[in-house]
Amino acid sequence: MPHFQICSSVFAIAASLAAMPAFAETTSDAEHQDREYLPTDIIVTGEREDGYATNDGSTATKTPTPLIDVPQTVAFITEDQLEDQSIRQLGQALRYVPGISLETGEGHRDEIFIRGQETTADFYLDGLRDDAQYYRSLYNIERIEVLKGANALIFGRGGGGGAVNRVAKRAKLNGDAPVFDASIDNFGAWALSGDVTTRVSDGAAVRLNATYEEFDSNRDFYDGHFIGISPTATLALGDATQLIATYSYDNDERLVDRGNPADGNGPLFGFRDTLFGAPEFNDTSVQVHIARTRLEHEFSGGLSANATVQFADYDKAYQNILPRGLVNDGADVEFSGYRDTQTRQNWIAQANLVWQVETGALDHTILAGVEASWQDSANGRANAVFNDGMGGTTSRAILPLDVSFDFPTISLTAPVRDRRSELEVLSAYVQDQIAIGDYVEIIAGLRWDRFDLETIDALSDTPGARVDEKVSPRFGLVVKPRENISLYASYAESFLPQAGDQFFLLTPGNAEFEPEKFTNYEIGVKWAPRPELLVTAALFQLDRTNTRGPDPSDPTLTALVGESRTKGLEFNLVGEITPQFRANIGYTYLDGEITNTSTFGSEGLRLQQLPEHQITAWTHYDLTDSFGLGLGVIYQDEQFASFSNKVTLPGYVRVDAAAYYTVNERIRLQLNVDNLFDEKYFASAHGDNNLQPGDALTARIGLRVEM
């Protein structure tokens, strides 16, 4: 059946449900309306909550659940904090989330480690998958949520270490004041953005978010620009039904910076501003279109339904010359390069029913949902070659180590990669949250996924195909000795097919193997000493199994023998400590290693880019009604750049600061200084010879106007 026909069928089911009379009257309408979280808030409300705290845990359950009742670690960054820090890119924001370390993403994409698990695909927008490889802007985002630990019941495949969800802004039926922002920094980077909402009628509103950014930094030759446009409309189809339609267009063009090579067993210092690449060659361009329509309906008796259809189109190309390492006793640098193209089209259709019902002494919140998705991808590559000065070309260039490089003429080979894939996924899930009296709640559920992947290596005309059907469980126990305290324990699983998280190619050999499995065990406590403040702590263990590795009985063969384990402790305090003092403070201890030899490496090696200790802290204190100060600290312990454990990124402390002055009720000025003490550090890596220096001291002046 064509994609649009199946998507239409999902909406037809939701429309039929909306036309049905309510069949459950177990909870009175009056009691239902008194609930703090209405069932229409199943994923997000998009409503602004001033401050750094939120109590919306609906993304973690797809049901109206307060965050304190979610048996899982959830970190978040609100729009207020993003504004205070003057942050516009997802990667910049995630630096302040404990348990996350950044991968350089080869200088052209978001790539992170969550609890030691690397991902380029576990990114979501309003709970729907947004898995292509690109940089995500925050101009149209209300809040960032990071859900820690494997949990396939909510998100499906992947998400071994967790998932990152962006909550998009939506048009509010009660209207909102237009907001305009402008900023410029000491390197010449600048940005303009606007957020305007218009009420068309009592039951209809439209909102437009738009931005333009020019990039620059201390890194030589770094430049580029970003254009983002996102209109959204909300339409009330009666007292109990809403239709929300959203479209976004992002255009990102920038220089690709792969970082510095290693110097022995550590980074190459003394070249913080140097581009180890060719400025006339290194660049990336991506265009992203995402269109989404969501229908929400609330029945009487605690029953609600929603259905969403999303189409996304990604078109990306990047090319880069990159350092392969120092040679000739460190006197020279070896370079190679390539050009890569990626296209993807995603269709996702999802429908959910949520029923809040009483059965005797038990209160149930029952979720039943279905999801179908179709993903068509293509990936091509050509290698870069250098003029050798003798009428030929070479795949490597060796140049003297210096602050700039004079490359010979660069050209591209014929394609060395042409991969295409078609992915179809059908999912169904059910979950029950059972409240036993006032003190105990059990959450239990299962998700069934049918994962059908077909790929082709067009250069060799080699097909690959595999169908997996997996059932993923989730179980949690929450005990609440007091209304503002919860103790929890949880168990959840997730899986990842053997084609990697982008599913460009499944080789015939890899098609023989079952997916990798992620199992998360967690116990924790959540405490809300006041409504605007939440304190959480958790102990967890994450096991990764079914990783490919050499067969112990015959090393020339491959078997599912690889295993790794991450254990850790996490603490977070976020919200309003006093009416003048806001904070988001986190600490994570992580211990992870390969426990059985696999394709990643030998038993006993520490997991890559897994700092043992990590501290993130951002605070905002209002000295007067018109003047405030902000202070941020990031401490990251030393970490290995790769599974080889041969190159270490040293630990570092980075301090950020800010000052805010409210001129009047409409105008605010702010100054943000990143890396206040100009610490020279390396923030991330992509392997042992692409090590990314941290930004130099950057001062940015901003103006915010609310009309």
Three-state SS for 347-413 is EEEEEEEEEEEEECCEEEEEEEEEEEEEEEEEEEEEEEEEECCCCCEECCEEEECCCCCCCCCEEEE
Which amino acid would we find at residue 429?
Y
pLDDT of residue 43: 33
619 touches 576 (CB < 8 A): no
Nearest to 656 by CA among 614, 696, 703: 696
DSSP 89: B
Using H for helix, E for strand and C for coil, what is the string for 273-337? CCCCCCCCCCEEEEEEEEEEEEEEEECCCCEEEEEEEEEEEEEEEEEEEEEEEEECCCCEEEEEE
> Distance from first CA to last CA of the chain, Å, rounded?
49
Return d(Cα 706, Cα 180) in angstroms, integer: 7
Return d(Cα 370, Cα 368) in angstroms, integer: 7
- For residue 682, the Cα-to-chain-centroid distance in whole angstroms is 22
| 3 state SS of 26 | coil
Return d(Cα 471, Cα 157) in angstroms, integer: 11
528 touches 503 (CB < 8 A): no
* Segments in 549-662 forming alpha helices (H): none
Question: What angle (nearest 5°) sits at the alpha carbon of residue 297, between those of residues 292 and 300?
Answer: 165
Return d(Cα 169, Cα 44) in angstroms, integer: 10
Return d(Cα 557, Cα 286) in angstroms, integer: 40
Return d(Cα 567, Cα 540) in angstroms, integer: 6
Q: Do the bridges between strand 652-662 and strand 332-359 make them parallel or antiparallel, or are there none, so unpaired?
A: unpaired
Question: What angle (nearest 5°) sits at the alpha carbon of residue 153, between those of residues 52 and 150?
Answer: 65
| Torsion angle, alpha carbons of 576, 633, 88, 686, to 10 | -140
pLDDT of residue 50: 65
pLDDT of residue 521: 98
| 3 state SS of 19 | helix
Number of alpha carbons in the 13 Å side-chain half-sphere of residue 602: 3
CA distances from 454 to 81, 451, 670 (A): 43, 10, 52
Using H for helix, E for strand and C for coil, what is the string for 71-118? CCCEEEEEHHHHHHHCCCEHHHHHCCCCCEEECCHHHCCCCEEECCEE
Q: Residues in the chain with pLDDT < 50?
A: 1-49
145: domain CATH number? 2.40.170.20
Q: Which two tokens stand for residue 243?
A: 């239709």
Q: Do the bridges between strand 123-125 and strand 162-168 make them parallel or antiparallel, or are there none, so unpaired?
A: parallel
Q: What is the pTM of this model?
A: 0.92
| Cα R_g (the chain), whole angstroms | 25
CB atoms within 10 A of CB 47: 14
Question: For the chain, what is the domain count?
Answer: 1
pLDDT of residue 578: 95
| 3 state SS of 516 | strand
Which amino acid would we find at residue 447?
R
Strands (E), 458-503: 462-482, 485-496
Q: What is the domain extent for residue 57?
A: 3-706
82 touches 140 (CB < 8 A): no
Q: Do the bridges between strand 410-436 and strand 123-125 make them parallel or antiparallel, or are there none, so unpaired?
A: unpaired
DSSP 494-515: EEE-TTTTT-S---TTGGGSPP
Return d(Cα 512, Cα 466) in angstroms, integer: 8
Return d(Cα 621, Cα 75) in angstroms, integer: 21
Which amino acid would we find at residue 647?
V
**Residue that has been written with the tokens 């009330």 in this structure:** 236
- For residue 143, the Cα-to-chain-centroid distance in whole angstroms is 12
Return d(Cα 428, Cα 96) in angstroms, integer: 34
Return d(Cα 121, Cα 501) in angstroms, integer: 6
Helix (H) or strand (E) holding 16: helix 3-19
